[in-house]
Amino acid sequence: MGVEQRGAFYEVTGALRDMVPNHVFSLLSMVAMEPPTCFDAAAIRSKKSDVFAAMPAVDPARAVRGQYGAGTVLGKPVKAYRQEADVAPESGVETYAAMKLEIDNWRWAGVPFYVRTGKYLSQRNTEIAICFKQAPHAAFQDTPIDALRANWLVLSIAPDKSISLQFEVKRPGPVVDLAAVKMDFRYDDWFPKEPNVGYETLLYDVMIGDQTLFMRVDMVEQAWRIVQPVLDAWAEGPPKLPLYLAGSAGPDAADELLARDGRRWRPIDGAGKLS
């Protein structure tokens, strides 16, 4: 399972401090929480809080950071982060963070959660991708399990709001042969498009007193508890920041993080592609 926010902008605090405990964890909790008893703010936030309480602190060996160097994004040249205005030439601020998370409860025990967020990647997308576990047996003769593609449920939040279900079907004909297909739903195809970047919704919720989308104090404390070991490890000694080209998919170390588990990231510039 993956929760990703890609191509967003960060303050000088860095990708991990600014994005992961706030935006990324909010998305993760909405995916992993148990069904609330009702859809009011108190019930929803209590279930989201349970998710954070069940998450152990991140092992620094399961976290990766990086900083973008000069490159090209969407056909436009981009300077290296350390060449930006008001940035120190030896800055150790990360502009990319990725990590492996776990949730130690009945439903999610043994299920890895991979999150990543980065500035000046090849494309800006906010996406939640849920990969379904393969069945232990295939009812198709001479078809090994590892030859079947995984089924995916992909929730795209930005820039397009959509839901995609990707699965295997039998090709037409007498031979049992499977092909990967997908079904797509796009909000813009059914509802009038609204010029809303998200902050309008939050400001409106503040004005009407709706706390559903906001982190509660105990949730904030748990979120920082989860990432604090990584922050402490990164603060020790000189910064070891892998550089990645602006316009790329991030540092190679992030690919290596998933390769240890025999997995790989979904393509950044191919949102919605079959994987």
Catalytic residues, by residue number, are 23
Q: By three-state DSSP, how is residue 218 classified?
A: helix
Interatomic CA distance for residues 177 and 197, integer angstroms: 43
Which DSSP category does 275 fall into?
Answer: -
Whether 109 and 118 have beta carbons less than 8 Å apart is answered as: no
Amino acid letter, residue 6: R
Amino acid letter, residue 10: Y
CA distances to 67, 176, 239, 246 from 90, rounded to whole Å, are: 11, 59, 9, 18
Q: Is 67 exposed, middle or buried (0-12, 13-18, 19+ CB in 10 A)?
A: buried
